[in-house]
Structure 1
């Protein structure tokens, strides 16, 4: 076979793969957009799996994953029927469901299979090997969590929210530096935090102890805010863009479109702002490369000058909102501190009424 023909064949093959994958990303974007604009019914599980399916080239086995989710939902329901929560309040039914989900994700549970054999259900573990998805972006996904039984501060709260909605209750995602956790509200004690990476109910002081939570970031809803469902879909849009960026070739305009749509429904979503500014920076690099020059000439051309001004304005807003970047090693140390200082940071009220009786 002539070499030039082989090169064309390979190039065309990759082009077809790229087009097919771009279609999946566009399809996921349209789904998320329709949920935000009320053109289709909100479904967090469907939103999450659409992102993960796009990244995995349409090979996501949703039948298998739904079976896993159904099993966990059934296990949570069985716990509800077999024990009583030591909590008195009009919202006891919901609090009991939250407690059962917490047990399913964090505790060892003795159960019987359909043949009446006894065995222990093991909880999920934290993935310290690749907590940020640097080696494999799949490490960030619920699908990988369900298959490997190891997750992180992204996949664990996402799975919790999915399971909560399977049980007919609401779960609020919340953000901290490099982190996602769950916020609930009880009639007796108000808002409380559920931390799934450590299996603890921490007080707000633990989040402040990171050293990277500025009071302005709390005041502006950057951190520690209970997100509504549309804001949670905005998180999925940023996930979609980040997954899209792992491709060798990608369209910067698609990344910016995802960020803009996320900011439309979550205006102070700093991760979306950072995503957009980074994409705009790469656009500038590409334009200057075409002019055979570098960043020293950024203000020489109207297009790059305009984009650069937008970036400067956005970075100013990010800083004013109270965002401070937290190094990854400090983040991991902060996570470990919760286990090492349980007595200092545990919410005693929640620990007390999460206790159950058979």
Structure 2
């Protein structure tokens, strides 16, 4: 009998330790990002991204191989810079040359001489399969992009920012409905947009053409704002929470809320974080309904704690709508994305071709 209880205790202990082992990848990734936000650790967008992805893979991500690929792309970018003279007249030519080289590596077919033979380097392409990562979250990852050279509006701008970091220049992420792109500020034209999914530089009118960007969203920095480095880390905290939810769908919501609240501290109008917070509270409320065996909301909110949570949810969703956030259906998003190619002459920023 004593042996039976010992075995039972051992199994329970091993289960607890396994859960702790699984969770520590997430707490470590959170701590890394938080250290960067608090300037206790050197900022590295690449390190933060790979920490998030490694947490999802529970420590099995081959970061050494990924770092080698990033180094190769960085060296390739430098070779492009050295092999051509960019026709650009202003004092920030060195910086702009680096932006142009990264764009070439990601979006353009490039002739490369290998052992006296000229071969064509094929660029990264947009993967229209599972663009939101509904089937498999890793379809949004930079690691998947580096392995397959196929990515989306999440992984491609992330890789662009990583390569900019590799070359010693800044790159600002920016948000649109369901979308991430790059914004740069250069002396010749000021701010301009870089769209990696289609490989062109669209004017702001293309972003507005989605029909889901309201004036309030622009004024509040929900959309079209050039994110700072720390605001980009806040975006990664949301990615971290979403990965955690995939690994542990029945979690109590405490870790996702921790990520959301820290992200909101950094960027109060980060819609992804505000939505994560509201949706986590919604799941907690639904769990209360289930635990109380309640058939409707009214029966649940008779409980003061449930009523408090319900009121908080409504307040959060109202705030999200008030600041201008709107959700775009997937079909409309894909049509909007394709419009850049089908209506290129209408939306391309001609200032950059002069």
* TM-score between both structures, scaled by the size of structure 1: 0.93
- Partner residue in 1 for 2:46: 45
Q: Which runs of 5+ in 1 are unaligned?
A: 353-358
- Partner residue in 1 for 2:321: 319
Contact kept, 8 Å, 1:234 with 1:262, in 2: the verdict is yes
* 1:271-295 CA-partner distances (Å, limit 9, x unpaired): 1111111110111122232222242
- Partner residue in 2 for 1:296: 298
- Partner residue in 2 for 1:239: 239
Between the aligned partners of 2:109 and 2:33, the Cα distance in structure 1 is 35
* 1:326-346 CA-partner distances (Å, limit 9, x unpaired): 101100000000000000000
Written as runs of structure 1 = structure 2, the 5 A alignment for 1:38-187 is: 38-113=39-114, 115-187=115-187
Q: Which runs of 5+ in 2 are unaligned?
A: none
Contact kept, 8 Å, 1:185 with 1:191, in 2: the verdict is yes
Contact kept, 8 Å, 2:288 with 2:300, in 1: the verdict is no
Residue 337 in 1 paired to residue 333 in 2?
no
- Partner residue in 2 for 1:258: 259
Contact kept, 8 Å, 2:81 with 2:97, in 1: the verdict is yes
Contact kept, 8 Å, 2:112 with 2:119, in 1: the verdict is yes
Distance 1:41 1:285, change over 3 A: same
**Alignment coverage as a number of residue pairs:** 348
Between the aligned partners of 1:14 and 1:170, the Cα distance in structure 2 is 44
CA RMSD of aligned residues (A): 1.9
Distance 1:327 1:14, change over 3 A: farther
Deviation at 1:6, TM superposition (A): 11
* 1:208-245 CA-partner distances (Å, limit 9, x unpaired): 00000001100110000000001000000000000001
- Which secondary structure state, in structure 2, belongs to the residue aligned with residue 197 of structure 1? coil
Between the aligned partners of 1:351 and 1:94, the Cα distance in structure 2 is 17
Deviation at 1:135, TM superposition (A): 1.5
Runs of 4+ in 1 over 6 A off after TM superposition: 4-13
Contact kept, 8 Å, 1:201 with 1:351, in 2: the verdict is no
Stretch of structure 1 that moved more, 43-52 or 298-307? 298-307
Written as runs of structure 1 = structure 2, the 5 A alignment for 1:207-246 is: 207-246=207-246
- Partner residue in 1 for 2:199: 199
* 1:264-320 CA-partner distances (Å, limit 9, x unpaired): 000000111111111101111222322222423232111111111111111111111
Distance 1:329 1:10, change over 3 A: farther
Deviation at 1:85, TM superposition (A): 1.2
Distance 1:69 1:284, change over 3 A: same
Deviation at 1:116, TM superposition (A): 4.7
Deviation at 1:351, TM superposition (A): 2.8
- Partner residue in 2 for 1:280: 281
- Partner residue in 2 for 1:356: none
* TM-score between both structures, scaled by the size of structure 2: 0.94
Between the aligned partners of 1:347 and 1:8, the Cα distance in structure 2 is 66
Deviation at 1:15, TM superposition (A): 4.9
Between the aligned partners of 2:7 and 2:282, the Cα distance in structure 1 is 36
Deviation at 1:54, TM superposition (A): 0.2
- Partner residue in 2 for 1:32: 33
Between the aligned partners of 2:333 and 2:279, the Cα distance in structure 1 is 22
Deviation at 1:119, TM superposition (A): 2.2
Between the aligned partners of 1:7 and 1:134, the Cα distance in structure 2 is 38
Deviation at 1:249, TM superposition (A): 3.4
Give the number of the structure with larger relative contact order, counting CA–CA contacts within 8 Å between residues 6 or more apart. 1
